Amino acid sequence: MTSSLLISNLTGEWLESLRRWHLEYFFIPTTVVTVATLLANPVLVACIFLSRALRQETRYLLVANTLTADMVYLVLNMVTNICNTMRVQIPWLVCELGTAITVTSYCCAILTVTLMVVDTYAAVRWPLRYHDVLPPARTHRILAGVWVMAALYPLTLLIMSEMEKGNPHEVAFCLVLISLGFIQANNWKGIHIYFFVAALICALLIFVCYIQLYMVTRTHGIWHSRFSRARVTLLAHGVLLLLYFAPGFVFTMELFLFQEKAISQDVRVWISTVNMCVFMLLPRVFAPYLYGLRYREISDTLMQLLHQHRRLGQTTVS
């Protein structure tokens, strides 16, 4: 059976399962959450880059990069959902390119939140040398390297897939799982190793940095109060890190189940839909508030910009 026929049959079965279980309704909360996040993220990113003080700080540049990666992911996810709901025929190359960019943005967000933990550890561990080691120009180069690192493997898979013959010209349903799952048939070890090793390195870095942070600061008295700022911040960051990493592990399980013939198609469709429409959106809807507005400097800058805009409006009217 040719690749074109395999993909056509698979997308047809997937659409049939979606219709049978009425899973299209999951796209309603997905749309609401996406719109709400896309209203908040650009405002926070603008606050960071419009403030000279904020854009000189590494931690705020990392926050801006995370929110930017989330916006790229949300826009592509929304466009794909709209096209799938309206049964738009999408060129297979466009679907694969969208998959590569989606994976890149997701991996970039994971790498950046990992760097945020490393940055916090470096700032606490070496406070006097911190600003000399990480000036804004070096941070910009690091973030550019993060995007390149996140894009390298997905784009390599895209090129390898396009070099093969027999791919369909158009598909009626574009999904990251189907695109990667189809590529995985020829390179399943590489994909699993990529996701597993990347997640393991990030998780180990985060764990080691948090342990070291506690060891360095345990005698400073910031952990004594049950509701101290340090405890609340650690809890907030821990929850958000869990929300970022958990959907990735679920997606890795989806890739494994994709090749298992014993697993029902309905089960795979349910897991994929819930993960894509719920779990993967949770960290992105909470990030502007837990990472953005929780920083006092960002919230103060936002209030200043709002007051300036209000005074400008009043001056224009008078």
The residue extents of the domains of the chain are 3-317
Distance (Å, rounded) from C-alpha 5 to C-alpha 145? Answer: 39
Three-state DSSP class for residue 90: strand
pLDDT values of the chain reduced to their tens digit, one per residue, 318 residues: 456 777 778 888 888 899 899 888 898 889 999 999 999 999 999 999 988 899 999 999 999 999 999 999 999 999 999 998 888 888 888 998 999 999 999 999 999 999 999 998 998 888 888 888 889 999 999 999 999 999 998 998 888 877 765 566 678 788 888 888 776 555 666 777 777 788 889 989 999 998 988 888 777 766 666 666 667 777 778 888 899 999 988 988 888 888 777 888 899 999 999 999 999 999 999 998 887 667 788 888 888 887 776 766 666 655
Does domain 3-317 fall into CATH 1.20.1070.10? yes
Q: DSSP label at 91?
A: E
Amino acid (one-letter) located at 78: M
For the chain, state the CA radius of gyration.
22
Cα–Cα distance for residue pair 49/45, rounded to 1 Å: 6
3-state secondary structure of 197: helix
| 126-164 pLDDT tens trace | 888 888 888 999 999 999 999 999 999 899 888 887 776
Q: pLDDT per residue over 285-307, tens digit each?
A: 999 888 766 778 888 888 888 77
Contact assessment for residue 84 and residue 173, using Cβ atoms and an 8 Å cutoff: yes
CA distance linking residue 75 with residue 30, whole number of Å: 11
Alpha carbon distances (Å) from 183 to 3, 9, 191, 192, 285? 10, 16, 9, 12, 30
Residue type at position 22? H
pTM of the model: 0.91
CA distance 70 to 39: 12
| DSSP string covering 163-193 | HSS---SEES---HHHHHHHHHHHHHHHHHH
For tokens 């494994």, name the residue: 256
Instruction: Kindly give, in sequence order, each residue whose CB lies less than 8 Å from that of residue 113, ignoring residues fewer than 6 positions away.
Output: 66, 240, 241, 244
Give the span between the Cα atoms of 264 and 200, in whole angstroms: 29
Q: Are 96 and 71 in contact (CB under 8 A)?
A: no
- Please report, to the nearest 10 degrees, the dihedral formed by the alpha carbons of residues 212, 216, 220, 224 taken in order: 20
Distance in angstroms (rounded) separating the CA atoms of residues 304 and 306: 5
* pLDDT of amino acid 72: 97
* Phi and psi at residue 196, to the nearest 5°: -70, -45
Contact 29, 81 (CB under 8 A): no
Q: pLDDT value at position 167? A: 63
- 126 in Cβ contact with 206 (< 8 Å): no
- Non-local (6+) Cβ contacts of 13 within 8 A are 265
